[in-house]
Chain A
Amino acid sequence: MHALALKLSPRRLLPVLGPLLLLALWQLAISAQWVKPVLLPAPSETLAYLLQDFAGGAILPDLWATLGRTLSAFAIAVVIGVPLGVALGSSESAYRSVEFLIDFFRSTPSSALIPLFMLIFGITDLNKVAISSFGAMLIVLFNSAYGVMNAKKTRVMAAQIMGISKWHQFKDVLLMESLAQTFVGLRSAVSMALVIVIVAEMFIGSETGLGHRIIDAQQVFNVKSMYSSILVTGALGYALNLGFLLIEKQLIHWSGKA
């Protein structure tokens, strides 16, 4: 009885309120005929289509393709971005000398570089991963570098006073100090990787992927497939972000507290 009351207490239901309201508004738009059903199917139909997509497994190859590309791009971004960022961050003059380049390309929407990458990599799967990892890498690099540069001076001094070697000051203090900011970068980077992969799947000739599925459905006016694919893409982005948040909370337990 007590447990049930706790489960159904209004506070715990608050997070569900927003989605329910959106669904209600969506249904209202259909019922009141504000939008033509041919442009926007009813939520029930869309969700039914979505379930059927998963039950029949039709969407799965596209989902795995997008997830695979996003994670490969992210992995490349981390392998290059973290060491490079930490190295640049530990030498202020090194970072200042490339700061403009990093900021410039960070401010350039990576999608604008798609034609350039097509010239280099052709219309291949590699191209999608390459451009996505490029965009994600800049975010990782920038955050890792700032994590090191903004390390608390007192902590470094404390290690220095103890007579700790330069290498251990770097490994035990600077690197640990940078982790919280690095993780902020990783979380933004995985979202960025997904965005670019989806865009690349839409516009760089593609046979698979959620981006490909969305643009294909749109071309043949299969709006139910389009909306359900959009929902799956959103859910994927949300899940990736949530996953990283949970890992961060476990690993960087001091983040925001010290």
Chain B
Amino acid sequence: MSGPLPATLGIPASTHSFVAGGDSTAQRPAAPGTHVTVRGLSKAFAGAPLYSGFNLDLPRGQIVSIFGPNGCGKSTLMNMIAGLMPMDTGEILFDGKSLRDTRIGYVFQNYRDALFPWLTARDNIAYPLRRSGMRETEVQARVAELVALFEIRFDLARYPYELSGGQMQTVCIMRALAPRPEVMFLDEPFSALDFEMTLFIREKLQEAQAATGVTMVIVSHDLEDAVFLADQILLLTRRPTRIAEIVPFRLPRPRTPESVADPEFVRVKAHTLEVFRREMKA
């Protein structure tokens, strides 16, 4: 790949002990501004270790994209943090609290299977609020707030199966944001969307993040998507998975579709690709 590359080029992944490191213990203190800490995480599938003594700090109020070779366990890592999948050993804390005491949101890749088809779009968004015992007037106010934030123009009285894919995924994101989560996880949120909808959802996610300050974690298999939204790109190695590098991306927001032509975007994307290719060969 051509283009300006950062100074880190060519340094072996193992010397990058940003967060991960073989000698770091589970007691290693978190960096300032950390929201989520992962310590000593281990996970094996059928005896083959996927993660072993894995440590990670996720910064508060930022968007972190997880990117890496196929089968390195991007989604597995996120699902263990979100509590959807058990870990073998390790500890994950949100501001020092356990998951049980933390409000999280999750956006699934398959929006069709994630929404409740027996509820209208509006009731889907309101569902977690109603179940948390919120008063109906407050529920309606919160939904109205989200409708304004996302500039919804389609009819929310319709059922999910009457909406387009992009509209369904928008409803999923609104539902995940409704209870004002502290951390929001997105598992390949764009992979089933056409380009137009991808642009729309990218924009809305940025706006929602700016408006709420929620910490976001996105798993993506598309390099451009991974870089575009991120404050940090977490690059993983092949299994047994370690952190290859954490690439900061500080292009000011809001980023627009034109941002992909920005030299900084091009540079970060090229560097990320470089690390990715190195890890693929490793």
The chain A residues found within 8 Å of chain B, CB to CB, are: 152, 154-155, 157-158, 160-165, 168, 172-173, 176, 179, 253-254, 257-258
Contact = CB atoms under 8 A, between A and B. Distances in A.
B93 to A, nearest CB: 17
Interface in B90-140: 103-106, 108, 110, 112-118, 127-128, 131-132
Given A161-B84, A162-B179, A176-B118, A154 B113 contact: yes
Nearest to A169: B131
Task: Tell me the interface secondary structure of chain B in the complex.
Answer: loop
Contacts, number: 55
Contacts of A254: 117-118, 159, 161
B112 to A, nearest CB: 7
B160 A258 contact: yes
A158 B161 contact: no
Interface string B150-175: 00000000011100000000000000
10 contacts: A152-B113, A154-B113, A161-B105, A161-B106, A163-B132, A168-B131, A172-B131, A254-B117, A254-B159, A258-B112
B82 interface: yes
A152 B118 CA distance: 13
A253 B27 CA distance: 53
For this complex, into which size category does the number of interface residues on chain B fall? 20 to 34
Interface of B: 82-84, 103-106, 108, 110, 112-118, 127-128, 131-132, 159-161, 179
A155 B112 contact: no
Nearest to B118: A176
B191 to A, nearest CB: 14
A154 B131 contact: no
A36 B238 CA distance: 81
Contacts of B83: 160-161
Given A155-B113, A161-B105, A161-B106, 7 more contacts: A152-B113, A158-B108, A158-B115, A160-B84, A165-B131, A179-B118, A257-B161
A258 B106 CA distance: 20
Contacts of A176: 116, 118
Contacts of A160: 83-84
Nearest to B131: A164
A207 B128 CA distance: 58
Given A161-B82, A161-B105, A168-B131, A155 B159 contact: no
